[in-house]
Structure 1
């Protein structure tokens, strides 16, 4: 006679044994090893549980059935803490509260009571030998009776674990881990149903074999699928991050892996040597199941020290830092010089969560102590990025890339900062790369457009100039202002194309307004410091003006003081060429730089814009009021025009008029408008009576307004400001 239930149990045992053997093989071929070992233990326990169930139902007598029942209880209880540990391991974020130790204690208590109590932990009393004839003709030996308090407690523990698993699955989904959701929820539903049926069977209400093990086969398959796909995804992300960092290093001119083994200045291993030896350290730590920390130190403003003092001074700082670091690390640690301004340190056998932070604080003192360079004593700081094996990478390149991402975050936060790697940093880098790719395609796809904000004559209220302001209509993130994408365009080398498009579009629009009768109107365009060194810039601007039948005086180029930061003499010559063409030049955000007055002397400008930060606070700050008054008087004395930007209240406008400021710009008069709305504004401006016009304009609903951005990758953006 065939036994379909016995066959099903034995097949499930075989599946679990093969799956556990596969998981064991994976521990030698892929990482993380501990996840595969946990999965192997779950499969073994589950296989043993299924085998014990089969032994119970087909036992020759009640005593043999009870022995098999006890062992089935043991293997079932062993599965619970393993599942909790597996869910915790899948989550990248380490939590202070961990449920697995408590589940393990509860399971251990249940296992001990299982052998102390006469019928196992599930029953306080059992019926006499109970054999049930199943519908398909098999006779199975059931154990039924009064369930114990321990059984109810373990049932409650299983319920807590199920809730925890549900929450963990939700967190993993929000973190971007792709999961076989249907299999997981279907398996959990089967588990709940089988748990209810098992409770009814234990109480003698019905006679149904334990089916929870079969549901676990589905859960194990889902878990195996998730682990394998997550490992592949992490490996792919690590490779992408390494490639992205390598490309960024090349673009910034940073040195790549060295060909020699030692750095000639400090005598430390170079990056190539460090990566090679770090790989060996990682293999040793894998065998010992130990953790390892990689620290990247970058000396803040070392380039400025070399520029203001000497290259020898900077080299002396590096050598002193290398000597001090070597004196404070263990012989087993690995120290290297990996790039121009910093060091890499690999510290092995990290035993506690707090150890990396403690070691970093100890090593930070190396840079805080004054360094005697011969001519002077320098006090410096260093930024630090930290990555931990195996949590943040399983190869030397991946771990180094994770530490580099953390170092970038630290440098962005300011001098002397420390950041530990988190998976979100890698995702931010991926998003920034995607955002840059979107920016490269935006011009070809016609996603850029210009808004226009008027500059108003303070005495007559007439519009003298329209300032062209670029906007990006991103298909996913919506309307994006220039403060969010222009810095990225500059660093990615896209600003020349975008700047040329802005000048072309703005001049075309001015020509249309001139045709509508606005003969005296000028157009102002912002010129990036990256555009100025472009060969033939003056000639190309002249061609655009000729094409649209405009004169050079019709176009005003607004520049920032940063144009002189790199090569002041060359920048001044370029600006002189633009001025000789007849273009008007204006300094934007005057007063926010370090040498604004000297720039007025050096640059061939006709106007400057008083920064909004002074205008915004002039009503409540005597200092800002005095700065505004002094700047306006300075402009008059030098024969320059001045535009006060950021005017938002009538009080501000009145104070500026009384000081003699000739031009005003801000939300009091108009927000940036699209081309159609700006045309309506100019039409209203021309029809208004100059003597009574306040300069205010009631914007229409279809006008472009500044609005907060949402959903844009934080790594791709910089804080914006009102325009």
Structure 2
């Protein structure tokens, strides 16, 4: 039988079934999960509604059509509260949900009435029970009749639903969802038209099938567009969030890498820092374990960095560190570790060493690379370095232990002067502990007034009178006893407290000289030794000027002695500082002359008035030979330059006579007096003033010893003589 309309109804059943499935799938990824599930149920109901319509219109008998018609009524009633619930799910308002529940209750009562009524809830009675023949020849069972009260109530509810949906659509327009809103308006218009046609058909004005299901297809499209757009937007947002998250992860990785690089590397030189060195040492230790070879860890500490920073500025000091790091890096293998631990301290981890000779070779390569002067911003700088070495597995087995062991060895090297190399030995730990205690005591010595000065006379070779006394510092400690300068001066320089000690020496020397001047020794002066840090770093001029003013002395009353090695560390800066001191009219002298390597080149430009001939040459001059020739040449050079010469270490009459014949100006040594306490120096000066210097004060060294020791008894030094500086 030809039934195209019924066929369309059956086809729409499949379309609605697909829509129901799609909505159920979309519900999993949509923000409108409840709405999607409701829409899925609604599509399923419309599929059943269309199926029931198709069965009614294609029925072969009145009873079959009426049975199907009651199912059409059932699904049409159930659809209305479900559509209202769908709109409520989209609005997400509690009031809308409450209204949908009320509508659902009313629909439930109507559905009950639908099955209790013989013709369904729509009609009180039917018009003639005959099939309608459509113009194209299709016979269809289309019912019409007198409407019931329930039907009229449901019509009002449907109208309210349409109005509510229009308001919701208008709100969507204002939110910018224009495309979706237009589809909803079109769907609502079709639903309204289909409802009008259904009402006309039910009253018998015209004979037309129910078209509400087909109208809902447009609403289904609108809903799919709304939800689909939401899903699309959510997917776009998810992709954007994922992209941003990936970008953030990459940024974090880069930031972490940068932070890790900063944490593990030195900003100035680009070398690993202490943390980076420890990290690399782990790998090197494991490599040497596997290869059964030795790992040598060297710590090089640049001795003159603080002086360079203080005299040339930190910019020059930083550039010096950069060039030092480059030279060290170039002097070792690529597989070796080079790192900077801080300040002027560098570590080298040399792998694959087989013997101790290999360790020495690495040390010689690095120190050789650092031996050449550095030319930085028109400054020619020479440096030395102390070095501590620890060897794996000979000494220790862990990366932090081996680095700590090398630092202990470095500490030991620094305590023995500059340019020293020391290997770690387990006994160093106890030695270092003792040294730390010693350092702590040294820090407290000045505060606890444990230092005192001794004075060694300088005698005029021509008149035999005492012209000057050299101030020599001593340290009397309750535990360590009498500590000589050779044990604590270099340590004080390393600890950075030598400037304070030196300032104390200058003040006490000036104070003592003022007292001697008050006692009538008007031509007497004192000689004071300076350290490198005092000359090149500290505010020496202010210290000297303040002491002279405090004790009402003139600059020529004191003489400052600077060792030749100190002058050669930075000759240009030394000349500059000595010139500032000369403006105070202070006498300047070079101590230990002849022990340096280039002093003669600078002697003509150094603003000094005297130099001291090193005791090493004086001791051997009475044996003749080279020592005598050196003394004679040095004295002759001084005479030609108009400088005064002080010969130290004079112990015999023969040495004294030879020096007098050579034209030496001043003599100093055990022949005349050892370093004297203030009390012993008073006795010595009194004897010298009376013209009895040799007969009464020092007829023999033993007599002088007796006088000196009697004065030291009050200082709890018993009868032990005070050694020389």
TM-score in terms of structure 1 length = 0.51
From 620, 627, 630, give the equivalent of 1:627.
630
From 686, 709, 715, give the equivalent of 1:683.
686
Question: Which moves more between the two structures, 363-372 or 613-622?
Answer: 363-372
Distance (whole Å) between structure 1 residues aligned to residue 646 and residue 469 of structure 2:
12
The equivalent residue for 1:425 is: 428
From 538, 549, 552, give the equivalent of 2:552.
549
1:474 aligns with 2:477: yes
Q: 1:281 to 1:696 in 2, by over 3 A?
A: same
Distance (whole Å) between structure 2 residues aligned to residue 530 and residue 722 of structure 1:
23
Query: 1:40-119, aligned counterparts within 5 Å?
Result: none
Distance (whole Å) between structure 1 residues aligned to residue 426 and residue 437 of structure 2:
17
Cα deviation for residue 453 of structure 1 reads 0.6
The equivalent residue for 2:488 is: 485
Q: Deviations over 1:654-674 (max 9, x none)?
A: 111111112100000000010
* Secondary structure, aligned partner of 1:699: helix
Q: Deviations over 1:61-105 (max 9, x none)?
A: xxxxxxxxxxxxxxxxxxxxxxxxxxxxxxxxxxxxxxxxxxxxx
The equivalent residue for 2:641 is: 638
1:343 aligns with 2:348: yes
* Secondary structure, aligned partner of 1:643: strand
The equivalent residue for 1:296 is: 297
Preserved contact between residue 297 and residue 406 of structure 2 (Cα < 8 Å): yes
1:315 aligns with 2:321: no
From 559, 563, 575, give the equivalent of 2:562.
559
Cα deviation for residue 571 of structure 1 reads 2.6
Distance (whole Å) between structure 2 residues aligned to residue 451 and residue 600 of structure 1:
30
The equivalent residue for 2:604 is: 601
Q: 1:630 to 1:416 in 2, by over 3 A?
A: closer
Cα deviation for residue 502 of structure 1 reads 0.8
Q: Deviations over 1:455-475 (max 9, x none)?
A: 011122111111111000122
Q: 1:636 to 1:478 in 2, by over 3 A?
A: same
Preserved contact between residue 284 and residue 295 of structure 2 (Cα < 8 Å): no
* Secondary structure, aligned partner of 1:470: strand
Question: Which moves more between the two structures, 443-452 or 634-643?
Answer: 634-643
Preserved contact between residue 522 and residue 555 of structure 1 (Cα < 8 Å): yes
* Secondary structure, aligned partner of 2:704: coil
Q: 1:367 to 1:634 in 2, by over 3 A?
A: closer
Distance (whole Å) between structure 1 residues aligned to residue 604 and residue 432 of structure 2:
42
TM-score in terms of structure 2 length = 0.51
Greater relative contact order (Cα < 8 A, sep 6+): 1
Cα deviation for residue 537 of structure 1 reads 2.8
1:610 aligns with 2:613: yes
Q: 1:310 to 1:388 in 2, by over 3 A?
A: closer
* Secondary structure, aligned partner of 1:701: helix
Distance (whole Å) between structure 2 residues aligned to residue 520 and residue 595 of structure 1:
34
Distance (whole Å) between structure 1 residues aligned to residue 545 and residue 268 of structure 2:
51
The equivalent residue for 2:14 is: none
Preserved contact between residue 645 and residue 664 of structure 2 (Cα < 8 Å): yes
* Secondary structure, aligned partner of 1:276: helix
The equivalent residue for 1:664 is: 667
Q: Deviations over 1:189-243 (max 9, x none)?
A: xxxxxxxxxxxxxxxxxxxxxxxxxxxxxxxxxxxxxxxxxxxxxxxxxxxxxxx
The equivalent residue for 2:708 is: 703
Distance (whole Å) between structure 2 residues aligned to residue 626 and residue 372 of structure 1:
34
Question: Which moves more between the two structures, 679-688 or 414-423?
Answer: 414-423
Q: 1:311 to 1:519 in 2, by over 3 A?
A: same
1:650 aligns with 2:653: yes
Structure 1 unaligned segments of length 5 or more: list them. Answer: 1-256, 327-334, 348-355, 708-719
Q: Deviations over 1:297-318 (max 9, x none)?
A: 46899999x99x9987983663
1:385 aligns with 2:427: no
Distance (whole Å) between structure 1 residues aligned to residue 618 and residue 288 of structure 2:
60
Distance (whole Å) between structure 2 residues aligned to residue 388 and residue 546 of structure 1:
59
1:540 aligns with 2:543: yes
Q: 1:408 to 1:293 in 2, by over 3 A?
A: farther
Preserved contact between residue 261 and residue 273 of structure 1 (Cα < 8 Å): yes
Work out which of the two has the higher radius of gyration on C-alpha atoms and give 1 or 2.
Answer: 2
Query: 1:12-31, aligned counterparts within 5 Å?
Result: none
Q: 1:441 to 1:359 in 2, by over 3 A?
A: same
Distance (whole Å) between structure 1 residues aligned to residue 337 and residue 697 of structure 2:
67
Q: 1:546 to 1:272 in 2, by over 3 A?
A: closer
RMSD of Structure 2 on Structure 1 (CA): 4.7
Distance (whole Å) between structure 2 residues aligned to residue 558 and residue 346 of structure 1:
47
Cα deviation for residue 508 of structure 1 reads 1.3
Q: 1:366 to 1:458 in 2, by over 3 A?
A: closer
Distance (whole Å) between structure 1 residues aligned to residue 366 and residue 441 of structure 2:
46
Query: 1:30-429, aligned counterparts within 5 Å?
Result: 259=262, 271-276=274-279, 278-279=281-282, 294-297=295-298, 315=326, 318-319=329-330, 321-323=332-334, 326=335, 335-339=336-340, 343-345=348-350, 358-362=354-358, 385-388=389-392, 392-393=395-396, 395-406=398-409, 421-429=424-432
The equivalent residue for 2:438 is: 435
Preserved contact between residue 406 and residue 421 of structure 1 (Cα < 8 Å): yes
Preserved contact between residue 452 and residue 474 of structure 2 (Cα < 8 Å): yes
Structure 2 unaligned segments of length 5 or more: list them. Answer: 1-259, 306-315, 373-384, 713-721
Preserved contact between residue 386 and residue 419 of structure 1 (Cα < 8 Å): no
* Secondary structure, aligned partner of 2:583: helix
Cα deviation for residue 576 of structure 1 reads 1.5
Preserved contact between residue 646 and residue 665 of structure 1 (Cα < 8 Å): yes
Distance (whole Å) between structure 1 residues aligned to residue 587 and residue 630 of structure 2:
25
The equivalent residue for 1:713 is: none
Q: Deviations over 1:339-373 (max 9, x none)?
A: 476521467xxxxxxxx7x4444566678799999
From 506, 510, 520, give the equivalent of 1:503.
506
* Secondary structure, aligned partner of 2:706: coil
* Secondary structure, aligned partner of 1:667: coil
Higher fraction of helix: 2
Q: 1:425 to 1:660 in 2, by over 3 A?
A: same
Q: Deviations over 1:362-388 (max 9, x none)?
A: 566678799999xx9xxxx99772344
Q: 1:318 to 1:480 in 2, by over 3 A?
A: same
* Secondary structure, aligned partner of 2:332: helix
Cα deviation for residue 578 of structure 1 reads 1.5
* Secondary structure, aligned partner of 2:623: coil
The equivalent residue for 1:514 is: 517
Preserved contact between residue 320 and residue 371 of structure 1 (Cα < 8 Å): no
* Secondary structure, aligned partner of 1:616: helix
Cα deviation for residue 277 of structure 1 reads 5.3
Q: Deviations over 1:281-332 (max 9, x none)?
A: 889999x9x999542146899999x99x998798366336214xx4xxxxxx
The equivalent residue for 1:674 is: 677
Cα deviation for residue 269 of structure 1 reads 6.9
Preserved contact between residue 528 and residue 559 of structure 2 (Cα < 8 Å): yes
